[in-house]
Amino acid sequence: MQQNKKFLRQCSDCKKLKSKEELIRITRDNKTKEIKINTNNKIYGRSVYICKNVECLENALKKKKIEKLLSSNLTENIKEELYTVLKK
């Protein structure tokens, strides 16, 4: 009998393992090199996962963990989008 495996992802700030649904995926697009919040998993490229809580997001932004892992700078628009995703 085959079981469906549920793959876990790691938060880049707190390093806790969680399912995809519990995390926000931030992706640097392969083609355009633009950083986007990947809600539908249709964008392919280098990705980072963050917990859906304010503490993890603020720590990651403060220590520039997302920028280091994606090797790109975050714009203010992306930061605002992240906070609006958390409020949902």
Report which of residues 36 and 42 the model is more confident about. Answer: 36
Instruction: Write the CATH number for 25.
Output: 3.30.1230.10
Q: Above pLDDT 70, what percent of the chain?
A: 94
Quote the domain boundaries for residue 70: 8-87
**Smallest Cα–Cα separation from 33: which of 88, 86, 70?**
70
Residue entry with tokens 């963050």: 50
Q: What is the mean pLDDT of the chain?
A: 89
Check residue 41 and give its pLDDT: 79
Question: How far is CA 71 from each of CA 5, 27, 35, 48, 64, rounded to the nearest angstrom?
Answer: 31, 11, 10, 11, 10
Residue entry with tokens 């090199």: 33
Q: Give mean pLDDT, residues 46-57.
A: 93
**How many domains in the chain?**
1
Check residue 1 and give its pLDDT: 52
